[in-house]
Chains A and B, each alone.
Chain A
Amino acid sequence: MATKIKRFILYIALIVLSLACLLPFWLMIVNSTRSGVEITHSFSFLPGHSLRDNWIVLFDYVNLFRGFFNSIKVAVPATLLTAYFSAITAYAMAMYEWKGNSLLFKVIVVFMMIPAQLSLIGFYNLCQKLRLIDSYVPLIVPAIAAPGIVFFLRQYVKSTLSKALLEAARIDGASEIHTFHKIVLPIMAPGIATMSIGAFIGNWNSYLMPLILLNTPNKMTLPVMISTLNAATDLQKNQGAIYLGVAISVVPIMIVFAFCSRYIISSISAGSVKE
């Protein structure tokens, strides 16, 4: 009996904590449908009728769909590059014997531990020299080299691929790259998907890199555009429009999460599985 009551209390506590995670987002959605005056006077947990007005005020100031589109232009190719080149690199490291393999592995582990800010200034300086400022190239191309993802996929290849299977393909006369594309890639697909979702969210949410690299307002990605919202006095007067802007940036990620939460959570768990 005591266990039952305790269990009940625990469930209540867990639900309260869930609400603490959801409430700010719910208030965001509610407030994005209320007028600035309503918001400053009182709070409400139920939506209002000013979504249209807020939308007009917001898009008068900034075209968020532009940022949305820009973010897609950066995040999708970057994620695809990360997925493909991490997979092929991991495969070569796990399944072939070659000179430098263990050195590369060590370097990768070291670079996983190096904080990103350490390279920030050098990276910017490099882009200046290569005349890549205000271009999407430095936001996309470096995605080819993702040490952390190579690290995890290497483990994944080792645990899912058998050398016997590869031998069979080779006896059939398939070339090495053909074997990778037709046999290895499909087997690695679940691992690649898991890592790609994490990579995509990272790219989508990235703020500091596009902030320093892009100059033209029309090229800004969504997070950078969002960060300019409170520069507008019109918007400061109408909090509803600010909430709406934030909601537009948040809702797509929430939808992706609703469908892929299992993959996302297993990608985090993967981080805790030691070698």
Chain B
Amino acid sequence: MKAISMKSVMKNRNNAAYLFVLPFVIVFLIFSVYPVFRTLYLSFTDYKGYGDPVLVGLENYKRVVGDKFFWRSLYNTVKMWGLNIVLQLGLAFLLTIVFSDIKYKLAGLPVFRALYYLPNLIAATSVAFLFKTLLDWKYGTFNQILLATGIVDQQVNWLGQRSTAWAVVSVIQAWMWFGNSFIMLMAGVQGIPQDYFEAAAIDGAGRWKTFGKITLPLLRPILLYVAVTSLIGGLQLFDLPFLINGVAGASTAGEPGGTLQTVVMYMYKFGFETHQVGFASAIAYTLFIIILIVSVLEFKFIGGKED
């Protein structure tokens, strides 16, 4: 044992590390890295789901840019995400302010936090079916309650009309995600030293001033994280609008009037229903570029100067 130098012992040890990461690296290369580049390659071909892909240059991207249905689905997605993120973050912020207020010292945070998070645990498929049935135009429980309490005087066709269907999806999304944002923001607030708040209180700073001058600036990194992850997730919206208004795979998905058709639904349609795989890949990459640009903007506006 003694004859082996320290250096070679260290080397042997560190060789073990290669063995430890090997399964991860192999699977990662095959199932994560390769598909990303494969999609990129296919986006430059006329691949139809069978046979050999033939390179067609930028044809698919030209088609995406000129396709008004692509832009409509992007508009729908952004609209649904936009209302959702405003509601979701607004509610999460309000709750964070209320629970971090040292004057009220509200109890029961763990219980409320758990209850608010509950909707996020349920599969979007189940949520879609639950609300689809509760919001049914003629026989849905929701309309029955509204009629009984006199809030409306006839049933509202929540999911059947263009004016409300997209907003319903946004509100359900916010309902599913505000608890998640709240937990993250609250964890951030709990990481802020209590002295800051006490000092602010002694200096006579009001609730909103404390929030604006102390809480918000210190929450910036978390806010950025929430905004970026919500953007990446939100622009990939699929399950809920895909299922809430139709039978899976049938042409009713995206109704009414195509207002619920999201970009990923549009991609799914070409990639897995009509087998224009090259075109679908170009849709995927175009969406990625858009997400990238918006993420960079978010970093710029929320991230501020790195200190």
**A interface with B by C-beta (< 8 Å):** 3, 6-7, 10-11, 14, 17-18, 20-22, 24-25, 27-28, 31, 39-40, 42-43, 85-86, 88-89, 91-93, 96-98, 101, 104, 107, 111, 113-126, 138, 141-142, 144-145, 147, 150, 170, 176-177, 180, 201, 204-205, 207-208, 211-212, 222-224, 226-231, 239, 242-243, 245-246, 249-250, 253-254, 257, 261-262, 264-265, 268-269, 271-274
Within residues 168 to 188 of chain B, which ones have a CB less than 8 A from any CB in chain A? Answer: 175, 179-180, 183-188
Within residues 217 to 273 of chain B, which ones have a CB less than 8 A from any CB in chain A? Answer: 221-222, 225-226, 228-229, 232, 235-236, 238-239, 243, 247-248, 264, 267-268, 271-272
Shortest B94–chain A CB gap in Å is: 9
Q: Are A98 and B112 in contact (CB under 8 A)?
A: no
Residues of A within 8 A of B16 (CB): 92, 96, 176-177
Q: Are A211 and B112 in contact (CB under 8 A)?
A: no
Q: Is B165 interfacial (CB-CB < 8 Å)?
A: no
Shortest A40–chain B CB gap in Å is: 4
Residues of A within 8 A of B267 (CB): 117, 120-121
Q: Is B118 interfacial (CB-CB < 8 Å)?
A: yes
Q: Is B163 interfacial (CB-CB < 8 Å)?
A: no
- With A121-B277, A268-B180, A271-B184 already in contact, the answer to whether A239 and B21 are too (CB < 8 A) is no
Q: Is B126 interfacial (CB-CB < 8 Å)?
A: yes
Residue of B nearest to A180 (CB): B20
**B interface with A by C-beta (< 8 Å):** 13-21, 23-25, 27-28, 30-42, 91, 95, 98, 103-104, 106, 108, 110, 112-119, 121-126, 128-134, 136, 138-139, 141, 144-145, 148, 175, 179-180, 183-188, 191, 221-222, 225-226, 228-229, 232, 235-236, 238-239, 243, 247-248, 264, 267-268, 271-272, 277, 280-281, 284-285, 287-288, 291, 295
**19 pairs, CB–CB < 8 Å, chain A vs chain B:** A14-B98, A21-B115, A21-B119, A27-B134, A27-B141, A89-B24, A98-B14, A98-B15, A104-B25, A121-B281, A122-B42, A122-B281, A125-B42, A145-B28, A205-B121, A227-B248, A243-B130, A253-B122, A274-B221
CA distance A175 to B213 in the complex (A): 53
- With A113-B232, A121-B277, A123-B31 already in contact, the answer to whether A39 and B116 are too (CB < 8 A) is no
CA distance A200 to B275 in the complex (A): 32
Q: Is the interface of A mostly helix, strand, loop or mixed?
A: helix
- With A31-B141, A121-B271, A207-B239 already in contact, the answer to whether A144 and B24 are too (CB < 8 A) is yes
CA distance A150 to B23 in the complex (A): 13
Shortest B183–chain A CB gap in Å is: 5
CA distance A43 to B136 in the complex (A): 13
Q: Are B116 and A21 in contact (CB under 8 A)?
A: yes
Residues of B within 8 A of A21 (CB): 115-116, 118-119, 175, 179
Residues of A within 8 A of B228 (CB): 113
Shortest B87–chain A CB gap in Å is: 12
Q: Are A22 and B20 in contact (CB under 8 A)?
A: no
CA distance A103 to B52 in the complex (A): 34
Shortest B222–chain A CB gap in Å is: 5
- With A39-B139, A119-B36, A207-B239 already in contact, the answer to whether A272 and B184 are too (CB < 8 A) is yes
Residue in A11, A117, A222 whose CB lies within 8 Å of B287: A117
Shortest A191–chain B CB gap in Å is: 16
Looking at A21, A124, A261, the one whose CB has the most chain B CB atoms below 10 A away is A21
Shortest B221–chain A CB gap in Å is: 5
CA distance A98 to B17 in the complex (A): 7
Q: Are A118 and B39 in contact (CB under 8 A)?
A: yes
Residue of B nearest to A17 (CB): B116
Residue in A122, A150, A271 whose CB lies within 8 Å of B34: A122
Looking at B122, B191, B225, B239, the one whose CB has the most chain A CB atoms below 10 A away is B122
